[in-house]
């Protein structure tokens, strides 16, 4: 599958929207710079988020890229995904 976009801003908006729909409690403030760990993203939610990236954005994030720095916020995760997309790290 070819990556859909390489723009970190667009990716982070899509990720935030997915998180708001699925994990973030109603009424809570959440944006691309909110710490993921405080926004209800646990291991289960993280896997769902990564599978969403595969399915919708066409990018597979390898385990080696799941570092503390990349998982700080949606913005940092989006930058990592954009980088992978530019290097054509597409999902099978």
Partner 1 sequence: MPDLPRQIRLAAGDYFMHAQDHRMRRIGLPGNVCCAVHRLGNGLDADLLRRRIAASPILDWLARVRVVRPLPLIPPLWRTVAKPSTIFYEHTDHNGGGNGPWPLPQVVTDRELHSGRGPSLAFDLVRHADGINHLYLSWNHALLDARGVDLLLSHLNNDGTAKGAPTIENLISPRQKGWNLSGWWPNVKMARGSVKWLHESGRDPIFTLLPARPPAGPLCNQYRSVSFSQEETARITARCQRLTAGFRRSHFYLAASLRAVHAVAVRRGNKTGAYLIPAPHDTRRRGSNGPICSNHLSILFYRIEPQHAGRLSDILGELSRQMTDQIRDRFPESCMAALDMFKPLPLGFYVRHLGKPTRGKFATFCFSDSGETCTGMTDLLGGRILDVTHLVPTWRPPGLTVVFLSFSGRLSALLSSVNDCLSPDEVDSLERDIRSALLEEEVP
**Residue 57 binds partner 1, judged by CB under 8 A:** no
| Residue of 33, 47, 87, 88 that binds partner 1 (CB under 8 A) | 47
User: With respect to partner 1, which residue has the nearer C-beta, 13 or 48?
Assistant: 48
Residue 35, classified by CB atoms within 10 Å of its CB into exposed (0-12), middle (13-18) or buried (19+), is exposed
Residue 7 contacts residue 92 (beta carbons within 8 Å): no
Residues near partner 1, by CB under 8 A: 23-26, 28, 36-37, 39-44, 46-48, 50-51, 63, 66-68, 71
């Amino acid at each position: 599958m070819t990556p859909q976009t390489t723009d970190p801003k667009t990716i982070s908006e899509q990720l935030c929207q997915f998180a708001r729909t699925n994990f973030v409690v109603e009424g809570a403030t959440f944006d691309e710079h909110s710490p993921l760990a405080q926004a209800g993203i646990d291991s289960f939610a993280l896997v769902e988020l990564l599978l969403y990236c595969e399915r919708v954005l066409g990018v597979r994030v390898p385990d080696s890229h799941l570092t503390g720095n990349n998982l700080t916020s949606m913005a940092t995760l989006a930058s990592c995904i954009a980088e992978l997309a530019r290097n054509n790290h597409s999902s099978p």
